[in-house]
Structure 1
Amino acid sequence: MAEAEAPAEGRISESETDEGRTVHLSGRMTIRFIDPISRRLRALEADPEPLTIDLADIERIDTAGAWVLYRTRTAREAAGLPFQLTGASDKAEELIEQICSHTQPTKIRPDPMPGFIRTLEKLGAWITFVATTFGGFLAFLGLTLVSLGKVIAARRAFRWRAFINQFEAVGVASLGIIGLMSFLVGIVVAQQGAVQLRQFGADVFVINLVGRITFRELGVLMTAIMVAGRSGSAFAAQIGSMKLAEEVDAMRTIGMPPIEVLVIPRLLAAVFAMPLLAFYGSMLGILGGMLLTWASLGIPPATFVQRIQEVVPLTDVWVGLIKAPVFGLVIAVTGCFQGMQVRGNAEEVGLRTTAAVVQAIFLVIVLDAFFAVFFSAIGWN
């Protein structure tokens, strides 16, 4: 068998005439062989002699070779030096012209903008992002509630196993961390209250402080923040991973609505678990405050419990229990919404998980402020 002929390398030769320097190129001006030709032509860009490049013996030229010729011509024309290109085939001339027509000057760095304009640009981008995210959240919330209504109205088979699994993950599995956190917060509130009230000889009112603030605000609020960081992030990461693996699309393909399969069990689990967790956290907070007052102020537990019953109205307990399912709804919807927004790569899962926690905590605090004003307006002070 005859050996295949090796491709001809690009070759360069030069000659001097009375009219100037002539550079003869032959072989292939392709990216594989263009480097020595490119270096030599770069050296001739500033040559004051008239330069002629002869392409009559070129076998093949690609965009790399055409760009080298364009670069040489541009540099010499910019310097006002004579340049001529001869012997080029029709295809070579067409390729060089295409390179010329599509080459546009590009700035390495954009022109600096005034500081005020940059600030307005960032503010506008932030407002657009917030509006888009909030609109998407409301749309997702509406879609979830509509799907829940269809499940109830059509009496479809509810996925009890998924609900129980999520209830265990949201509620039972978080008893330890929520109990410890609430217990320590109760100790801190009682200790700081005792330090301040002791100055006025009103140590006994520490019980009022611990009881009312724990049942009304801190118990449910701290529980909601812990659930947002623990379960809200888990919802976003789980659904986001399923989005990357195209499992959500597979569910739609086989006729399983992702909202009913993935979102509603998590939503109901959070809504039903939050009141129980909030009451549990409040009781642990009261226990922490009771132990601190017993050790620091000498108030026995029996007196503490009796005083709690006298100074804490039942409305404070109802305020916390009413807010808890609303917080659970917001946390679950936010986590599932961010999980459904995952696109592209695994990094997006982390970004959406972080966004789910931040947005859930923000919405919980905003709603807590709203509830505080609302219950004060209706006389539940």
Structure 2
Amino acid sequence: MSAASLHETTEDGTRRVTVTGRLTVRFADEFSPHFRDLEERPEPLHLDIAEVDRIDTVGAWVLFRLERERSERGYDTDISGVSENAQHMMDQVGKAAGDCRVRPPEMPRFLALLDRLGGWIAEGVRQLGAFLAFLGMTLLALAKIAAHPRRLRGAAMFKQAEAVGVAALGIIGLMSFLVGIVVAQQGAVQLRQFGAEVFVINLVGRITFRELGVLMTAIMVAGRSGSAFAAQIGSMKLAEEIDAMRTIGMPPIEVLVVPRLLASVIAMPLLAFYGSMMAIAGGALISWLSLGIPPSTFIQRIQEVVPITDVWVGLIKAPVFGLIIAVTGCFQGMQVSGNAEEVGRRTTAAVVQAIFLVIVLDAFFAVFFSVLGWI
């Protein structure tokens, strides 16, 4: 195996060049400068490549470029000994030759901004349509299960309920306890200016049962369980397990989505109430240590100032939040395609979208209950 070598002679004013060896990409650095030099020689050129052992597309491009450049400059060029294969490659290279942009043409900044904005809106509308379609299929599957209860996979539902609920008690309890401490401490600092420290109990009780307990719990479940749903189903989608389920007649919505959805709907009210009680415990502790309010007085005062409607507001919102978190996580998991990187991207999207929808729904519920007079 040897690189191409060029042997030059001059006869009757014509430069004759005989090429031997290989015109391949491996030796391009060695023979390409010689051909570049021949492109600039004004005298007639006769190039003989009959003794070339092998030629690839790089060699064909060098020969094509030599012939094209000399032709454009008006220099006489004759290439002999071209095999059928070499001629075919030179023809293909010639067809593909042409100017191309290294970078796409730059748009004016304002138009580029509009283009990106339009792309985001179009993608958002497409995602919304796909999400609503997925939600419809999920509700249809729930209706089928309600009509035929034997289709419900109870074992899978309880397993998911354990993962969503029981396994999350530790982190949700700790987070809620600390949030209760922070709310009580900051509230006491502000109310102390007016000599109204005792109203810390009102603040902690009402904001915890009505808003903070269920909202913080939903955010934690979205980050913990919503991401897990997306990653689990996404991995199954990449491994073609979902296609296998369809092949053997197992509806993926009923097998994978419904158990997770029901588990989230069941677990969320329990977690929200548990989180609210832990926040109350944190508020009671800081009130005892900082304000000297005994726990018994704190609990008694909580019962007096927190209406039962506040508890019902939190418990009504919790299952709706659980449904949205589960549907969003499963939807993003079903959208996975291509490669493992997509799993991470869809998992992130599941968490972000679930938290966004939870906050939007919480705002809607705030207005709704306000209209009902539950304030």
Q: TM-score range by the shorter chain?
A: over 0.9
**Inter-partner Cα distance in structure 2 for 1:128 and 1:244:** 26
SS in 2 for 1:44: helix
Q: What does residue 290 of structure 2 align with?
A: 296
Do residues 66 (structure 1) and 91 (structure 2) align? no
Do residues 251 (structure 1) and 245 (structure 2) align? yes
Residues 202-247 of structure 1 show CA distances to partners (whole Å, capped at 9, x for unaligned) of 1111111111100000000000000001111111111111112111
Do residues 14 (structure 1) and 12 (structure 2) align? no
After superposition, the Cα gap between the structure-2 partners of 1:296 and 1:32, relative to the gap in structure 1 and judged at 3 Å, is closer
The percentage of counterpart residues that share the same residue type is 67
**Inter-partner Cα distance in structure 1 for 2:196 and 2:62:** 88
SS in 1 for 2:151: coil
For these two proteins, the number of residue pairs brought into alignment is 374
Aligned-CA RMSD value: 2.1
Q: What does residue 224 of structure 2 align with?
A: 230
Asked whether the 8 Å contact 2:46–2:80 carries over to 1, the reply is no
Letter of the 1:361 counterpart: I
Do residues 119 (structure 1) and 113 (structure 2) align? yes
Residues 253-300 of structure 1 show CA distances to partners (whole Å, capped at 9, x for unaligned) of 111111111111100000000000000101111111111111111112
Residues 166-186 of structure 1 show CA distances to partners (whole Å, capped at 9, x for unaligned) of 010000110111011011101
TM-score scaled by structure 2? 0.93
The worse-fitting range, judged by mean Cα deviation, of 187-196 and 102-111 is: 102-111
**Inter-partner Cα distance in structure 2 for 1:108 and 1:37:** 26
TM-score scaled by structure 1? 0.92
**Inter-partner Cα distance in structure 1 for 2:350 and 2:179:** 25
Structure 2 matches for 1:179-190, cutoff 5 A? 179-190=173-184
Structure 2 matches for 1:143-158, cutoff 5 A? 143-158=137-152
**Inter-partner Cα distance in structure 2 for 1:30 and 1:254:** 52
Q: What does residue 87 of structure 1 align with?
A: 80
Structure 2 matches for 1:30-179, cutoff 5 A? 30-31=24-25, 36-57=30-51, 61-78=55-72, 80=73, 82-89=75-82, 91=84, 92-179=86-173
Residue 26 of structure 1: CA displacement?
Answer: 4.6
Do residues 336 (structure 1) and 330 (structure 2) align? yes
Residues 320-346 of structure 1 show CA distances to partners (whole Å, capped at 9, x for unaligned) of 000000000000011111111111221
Which ranges of structure 1 fall in alignment gaps of 5 or more residues? 1-6
Residues 28-84 of structure 1 show CA distances to partners (whole Å, capped at 9, x for unaligned) of 545566664433212222234333323455566443322111122333345x25141
Letter of the 1:87 counterpart: S
**Inter-partner Cα distance in structure 2 for 1:176 and 1:341:** 31
Residue 136 of structure 1: CA displacement?
Answer: 1.2
**Inter-partner Cα distance in structure 2 for 1:296 and 1:55:** 95
SS in 2 for 1:299: coil
Q: What does residue 276 of structure 1 align with?
A: 270
Asked whether the 8 Å contact 1:50–1:82 carries over to 2, the reply is yes
Letter of the 2:229 counterpart: F
Asked whether the 8 Å contact 2:3–2:30 carries over to 1, the reply is no
Residue 159 of structure 1: CA displacement?
Answer: 1.1
Which ranges of structure 2 fall in alignment gaps of 5 or more residues? none
SS in 2 for 1:344: coil
**Inter-partner Cα distance in structure 1 for 2:345 and 2:185:** 38
**Inter-partner Cα distance in structure 1 for 2:360 and 2:297:** 36
Residue 17 of structure 1: CA displacement?
Answer: 3.0
